[in-house]
Amino acid sequence: MSNPLPRHAYFQGKIVPYSEARVGVATHALNYGTAVFGGIRAYWNAEKKRLFIFRPQDHYRRFLNSCRIMRMEFDHTPESLTDLTIELLRADGYQEDIYIRPLAYKADEQIGVRLHNLTDELTIFALPFGLYIKNDTAAHATISSWRRLDDNAIPARGKISGAYASSALIKTDAALAGFDEALVLTQEGHLSEGSAMNVFIVRDGALITPPITENILEGITRRSVIELARAELNLPVIERPIDRSEIYLCEELFLTGTAAQVTAVTRVDHRPVGNGEMGPITAQLRRLFEQVVRAEHPKYTHWNVAV
Ligand code: PMP
């Protein structure tokens, strides 16, 4: 998947043309993965002719927590980062769906693996962005032979750049084997998540997702879907460990993430999920999610921040 380049970036304290946002090859974060990032979407509402950012404060709260894990400090709050993002998007002027990438990184051009005595920098950029998983109504997933990183190795709850080398191994092996995505198990063999998305299954009509102690990223989409399922669909939602064999027996399976949105998985390792077609709960949640993120659902407009 390729995407257009960003127009501007917030870089070294100001908004500059993207071509001016550059780092040297000796940069610590580039060599050691000592960076944390976020991924936020903003949706174009054609009727209101406005861009709406989806839950930016929640994304930035998690982003600042990731910074904390990596011993990075910024004079910022979720609100000030949201304001900065609005300023950036006004400079960009996009009138389409976009993806926003905040990145905090160890900026020193220095050799030596560590977190301390280094300079933290913050950058934000945005670019037009469509579907992340092209086949998002009928994805074919495989169970990865790679295991999920453990909280005592690189905490999944921090969105740490270095950890995504593992996600890249997972994604590429799945893609080159002809699958759309991968499901990843913990060291204990429980279902954890996808390469960059959380996972839900439906069994006996209940929605089940791994708890936050299963080495998952605490997804904002996951949290939104749990709330929507309970409040709008009256579904029981259970957070509990999921065995591998439940993947083969469940009625529905879907992935959630800012990039992946709500992606229906209809086959896992050449076995049909349920009857092999997108199930009714997945379909309803997809419709609801699409309304909510585009600021078209009156009950959830507190999640939409206008640019
Ligand atoms: N898990 C991982 C590993 C991810 O990278 C992402 C994407 N940020 C998610 C889950 C989904 O999180 P969110 O819904 O906040 O985008």
Q: At what angle do helices 220-233 and 56-69 cross, to 10 degrees?
A: 140
Looking at the structure, do residues 171 and 272 belong to the same domain, yes or no?
yes
For 170-203, the pLDDT digits (tens) are: 999 999 999 999 999 999 999 999 999 999 999 9
Domain presence at residue 133: no
Looking at the structure, do residues 109 and 220 belong to the same domain, yes or no?
no
Atom of ligand 1 nearest to the CA of 220: 15
Domain presence at residue 305: no
**Enzyme catalytic residues:** 159
Domain presence at residue 66: yes
Atom of ligand 1 nearest to the CA of 223: 14
Nearest-CA residue for ligand 1 atom 2 is 196
Looking at the structure, do residues 160 and 282 belong to the same domain, yes or no?
yes
Provide the CB-side half-sphere exposure for 155 (13 A, CA): 13
Looking at the structure, do residues 148 and 86 belong to the same domain, yes or no?
no
User: If you ran DSSP here, which 8-state letter would residue 232 be given?
Assistant: H
Q: 230 CA to middle of ligand 1, Å?
A: 21
Neighbouring residues of 289: CB distance < 8 A, sequence distance ≥ 6: 221, 224, 225, 228, 261, 262
Atom of ligand 1 nearest to the CA of 216: 1
The residue whose CB lies within 8 Å of the most ligand 1 atoms, and thus the one to mutate among 144, 185, 197, 227, is: 197
Note the pTM of the prediction, 2 decimals: 0.97
Beta bridge partners of 17: 8
Looking at the structure, do residues 121 and 148 belong to the same domain, yes or no?
no
Looking at the structure, do residues 112 and 167 belong to the same domain, yes or no?
no
Looking at the structure, do residues 288 and 145 belong to the same domain, yes or no?
yes
We report the CATH number of the domain holding residue 104 as 3.30.470.10
pLDDT value of position 133: 87
Looking at the structure, do residues 145 and 238 belong to the same domain, yes or no?
yes
Q: 262 CA to middle of ligand 1, Å?
A: 12
Domain presence at residue 165: yes
Range of the domain at 143: 139-293
Looking at the structure, do residues 176 and 103 belong to the same domain, yes or no?
no
- Residue 45, token pair as written in the block: 């509402």
Looking at the structure, do residues 51 and 152 belong to the same domain, yes or no?
no
Rounded CA-CA distance 277/251 in Å is 10
- Residue 196, token pair as written in the block: 């960059």
Atom of ligand 1 nearest to the CA of 222: 14
Rounded CA-CA distance 200/305 in Å is 27
Q: 102 CA to middle of ligand 1, Å?
A: 14
Looking at the structure, do residues 21 and 110 belong to the same domain, yes or no?
yes
Domain presence at residue 119: yes
Task: Number of helices (H) and strands (E) in the chain: give both, helices first.
Answer: 7, 17
* Ligand 1 pocket, CB under 6 A: 39, 193, 196-198, 217, 219-222, 256-258
Domain count, the chain: 2
The residue whose CB lies within 8 Å of the most ligand 1 atoms, and thus the one to mutate among 41, 217, 256, is: 217
Residue numbers in the chain where pLDDT is lower than 50:
none
Query: Which residue, 128, 160, 180, sits at the end of a domain?
Result: 128
The residue whose CB lies within 8 Å of the most ligand 1 atoms, and thus the one to mutate among 66, 146, 198, is: 198
Looking at the structure, do residues 217 and 172 belong to the same domain, yes or no?
yes
Query: Which residue, 77, 100, 128, sits at the end of a domain?
Result: 128
Burial annotation 152-178 (CB, 10 A radius, 16+ → b, else e): eebbbbbbbbebbebbeebbebbeeee
Query: Which residue, 128, 156, 181, sits at the end of a domain?
Result: 128
